[in-house]
Structure 1
Amino acid sequence: MSDYLIKALACQERLRVITAVTTETIREAQRRHHTWPTASAALGRTMTASMMMGAQMKGNEKITVTIQGGGPIGAIVADADTKGNVRGYVTNPEVHFDLNEHGKLDVARAVGSDGFLSVVKDLGLRDNFTGRVPIVSGEIGDDFTYYFARSEQIPSAVGVGVLVNPDHTVKASGGFLIQVLPGTEDAVIEKIEKRIEEIPPISKLIDAGRTPDDLLMDLFPEADYRVLEKVPVHFHCTCSKEKFGRSIAGLGYAEIKSMIEQDHGADATCHFCETAYHFTEDELKAMLIDK
């Protein structure tokens, strides 16, 4: 597995932990959307965090995360499921700035900090669960950390990072999610907070060749953890011509007839993967017959 995540329990099973490498996954997203470096970092961080959230869910449950911070990148949207599949896009992929004062890609400037992070969980029930919190920094990791504390009342630490090559390809990407279980002593929390401050940025660790297994050791050098599961991670889109066809069929008789007479067909492109679908006049006429 080139990209995968690990689920584990740590510190005498007082902490729930996920570590992940997503380099190939985010590289594929960059290839499909032609994102510039800062946009790649924003999208990659969001997809990685969303993927780790999705991995916490069960069965066929799914999650959609939307970040709208008022910055030039526009909206960032990511979908993830329980099986390590994730997809995403940004409204404006051609966004890039000089490095910030810390020598990192200026994701906060691209995202903005005047807006919201929203999470929709499809639990297979009649109504979806929706949570929304204000953006606190636009750095993505901080915003997911705040979401967990505010919306789900779970003290958490979210670290996500993306390095981009001069040719705009993704060099390294990944993250970690640590959550405090009920009844955990303050000393345990203080210990892991100190450790997170001590280790290098997650993207640099991955660029140096660290795997999710290695990241667990970096975070918990005393090896006080138990691995529960390893899950492959992929860029995966669920779009299809059939799904787009159903959407067009739902537009109504007059609009479909206009597509036939004026455009002599119809074209649709998936926001998530940039796959284009073409519908011929005959295919559109068949939709009219069904009405």
Structure 2
Amino acid sequence: MSSRDYLLRATAAEGQIRAFVCTTRDTAEEQRKLHNTSPIATAAMGRLMSAALMMGVDLKGDKDLITLSVKGDGPMKSLVATADSHGTVKAACANPYVILPAKADGHLDVGGAVGKGILSVIRDNGLGEPYVGQTQLLSGEIAEDVNAYFSISEQIPSSVGLGVLLNKENTVEASGGFIIQLLPFAEESLLDKLEEKLKTVHSVTDLLKDGHTPESLLEFLLGDFSPEIHEKRELSYFCNCSRERVEKALISLGKKEIESLISDHKAQEVRCDFCNKRYVFTEKELEELLKR
């Protein structure tokens, strides 16, 4: 599916501020169609994917991956989004059909669906053990939780805004967000000015509703700080699963597990959590895997 989604990477205040701004409408809608998510799950997954994409573009290596994993005690249980450095993302959710009443302000209760728990950020460069950073969920609303991760785990003063706007048919009308960070050498006075500006942002969803593009969003947020755009990157939903990868996953289950599958004397179906693609293995094919 061709996507109109894209991300801008920028700096401002002569390099003292860095910013990522994105629109992810087509990516969030592709996820909704693949997983048939309820409105709350669509919003939660859209926010998480936007955050993962903005963090992913900051990865150094060609094969580096970043995974944002949210595990909460709410009815949604867990959600995960994995992005690479090329602007693609895939996502999955333990309970995509959650329905809860709206909050008093009319917004979807994403925090209620997620509950209390842990946000894990896993950086994998394919060379041995991945780096894992964890923080307690602050609100379960995703943006505040990613913000808390940056300030606690990475000690980077940040502002994270994420939003997903659904239309009456519960399809995605707009999705996107921003991450703004102060670099270590930034002047103290800059922090106060930036905080004052960011106080005027009440809801990213409202900004998306107003039709903001990444360029106009960047201008709205950092126009007073002379922003400079360094990169524009297209974004999309992409799952890289393959029969070969599924075979490796089955082998990694171990001998006992494969023998137990063979003992059923029937073909076994394995479904990819990220794109719902199904892979069927006959009894004979499972015996081949056992030999390997």
Q: Report deviation, 1:49.
A: 0.8
Give how far 1:166 is off.
2.7
In the alignment, is residue 75 of structure 1 matched against residue 78 of structure 2?
A: yes
- Tell me the alpha carbon deviations over residues 242-262 of structure 1, each in whole angstroms, 9 at most, x when there is no partner: 111122234445543443452
Q: Give the equivalent residue in structure 2 for 1:165.
A: 167
Please say which of residues 141-150 and 114-123 is displaced more in the overlay. 114-123
Q: Deviations over 1:168-212 (max 9, x none)?
A: 211110000001101212322222222222245222322333211
Specify which of 93, 96, 107 is matched with residue 99 of structure 2.
96
Residue 131 of structure 1 aligns with which residue? 133
Does structure 2 retain, via aligned residues, the 8 Å contact 1:67–1:77? Answer: yes
Cross-structure match for 1:34: 36
Question: Of residues 84, 87, 91 in structure 1, which corresponds to 2:90?
Answer: 87
The answer to whether the 8 Å contact 2:165/2:208 transfers is no
Partner of 1:235: 237
Q: d(CA) in 1 for partners of 2:225 and 2:251?
A: 56
Which of 110, 113, 136 is the equivalent residue of 1:110?
A: 113
For structure 1, which segment, 138-147 or 59-68, has the greater mean C-alpha deviation from structure 2 after superposition? Answer: 59-68
C-alpha distance in structure 2 between counterparts of 1:154 and 1:223, whole Å: 19
Q: Which amino acid aligns with 2:288?
A: A
Measured against aligned partners, the alpha-carbon deviations of 1:101-131 in whole angstroms (never above 9, x if no partner) come to: 222111111111x211111111233221111
How far apart are the structure 1 equivalents of 2:77 and 2:69?
Answer: 10
Identify if the C-alpha distance between structure 1 residues 69 and 287 changes in structure 2 by more than 3 Å, giving closer, same or farther: closer
Aligned to 1:206: 208
- TM-superposed deviation, 1:72: 0.9
The one-letter code of the counterpart of 1:10 is A
5+ long unaligned stretches in structure 2: none
Amino acid at match of 1:157: S
Q: 1:63 aligns with which of 59, 63, 66?
A: 66
Partner residue in 2 for 1:175: 177
Over the matched positions of the two proteins, sequence identity in percent amounts to: 40
Q: What secondary structure is seen at the aligned counterpart in 1 of 2:223?
A: coil
TM-score, normalisation: structure 2:
0.93
Q: In the alignment, is the contact (CA less than 8 A) between 1:67 and 1:76 conserved in 2?
A: yes
Q: Relative to structure 1, is the Cα distance of residues 254 and 220 closer, same or farther in structure 2, using a 3 angstrom cutoff?
A: closer
User: Structure 1 regions of 5+ residues with no counterpart?
Assistant: none
Under a length normalisation based on structure 1, what TM-score does the superposition of the two structures give? Answer: 0.93
CA–CA distance in structure 1, aligned partners of residues 114 and 256 of structure 2? 40
Q: Quick one: distance in 2 between partners of 1:197 and 1:63?
A: 29
Deviation, 1:224, is 0.4
How much does 1:283 deviate?
Answer: 2.3
Contact 1:199 1:218 in 2 (8 A): no
**Distance between the aligned counterparts of 2:127 and 2:252, measured in 1?**
23
Q: Structure 1 stretch 252-261 or stretch 233-242: which is displaced more?
A: 252-261
The residue matched to 1:262 in structure 2 has which SS? Answer: coil
Q: Is the 8 A contact 1:65 1:118 kept in 2?
A: yes
Deviation at 1:263, TM superposition (A): 4.1
Counterpart in the other structure of 2:270: 268
SS at match of 2:264: helix
SS at match of 1:166: coil
The CA deviation at 1:164 is 1.6
Number of residue pairs matched by the alignment = 289
Shift of 1:44: 1.0
